[in-house]
Amino acid sequence: MLTGSSHFLVVGLGNIPYPGTRHSIGHLVVDGLASRLGISLTPDSVVKGFRATKHNVPIGEENVTITLYKPKALMNVSGPPVSTALKNLAIQPSNMIVVHDSLEQKPMKLSPKFGGSANGHNGVRSIIAALGGMKDFHRIRIGVGRSDADVADFVMERLPSTERTFWQHGEGVGAVWSALLKIMAMPH
């Protein structure tokens, strides 16, 4: 059962200098969520990134607070600012949902996950390391698919416009929102 003071941190992983790439799809999704919630992400030097908070979001019969966050740090070193954001906002890692690209899911598909390994994702690996090895947080893996190209080159390519629209303004942001609602409705 949720309490009226439940606060969730939704982290979109990406690389600020490389917007619109597969690797920055977490940023794109968080931008889409901000638009859906009617809030604007603004720079925050304390948490070294961009954030926006929405209070009194109805989840079932309860109201929660949701903070959207995009670290400024590059993907592979995003853990320390994410850890700082959790501490600054007094949010437990179990109330954190990390949105990131996934080679294992097909494009325009998502897969929620709780805990477990980083599955080779350097951003998630950095967060686990910054949390002292603690893996008990939610992830929403956003499918970017695979190609025969080098993995590093592939994830740094621009996202096709159909996928970009899907995740920022289309059905994809709705699917992410539905996944978030299920996660936030769980006992924490």
Q: Which pLDDT belongs to residue 117?
A: 95
pLDDT digits (tens, 9 = 90+) for 41-57: 999 999 999 999 999 99
Looking at residue 4, its pLDDT comes to: 42
DSSP E strands in the chain: the ranges are: 7-12, 42-44, 49-59, 62-71, 96-102, 110-114, 138-143
The matching CATH number, chosen from 2.170.120.12, 3.30.1220.10, 3.40.50.1470, 3.40.190.10, for 7-185 is 3.40.50.1470
pLDDT band of 187, cuts 50, 70, 90 = confident
| Residue written as token pair 């908070």 | 53
Burial status of residue 170 (CB atoms within 10 A of its CB: 0-12, 13-18, 19 or more):
middle
Q: What does the domain layout of the chain look like in residue ranges? A: 7-185
Clarify whether 7 is annotated catalytic.
no
pLDDT mean across residues, the chain: 94
Q: Is 144 exposed, middle or buried, given 0-12, 13-18 or 19+ CB atoms closer than 10 A? A: buried
Residue from 7, 23, 138, 188 carrying the catalytic annotation: 23
Phi-psi region of 110 (alpha: psi -120 to 50; beta: other; left: phi over 0): beta
The DSSP bridge pattern shows strands 42-44 and 49-59 to be antiparallel
Kindly tell me if the per-residue pLDDT of 2 is higher than 60: no
- The pTM of the whole model exceeds 0.85: yes
Q: At what angle do helices 161-168 and 171-185 cross, to 10 degrees?
A: 40
Rounded mean pLDDT, 84-94: 96
CA distance 68 to 165: 19
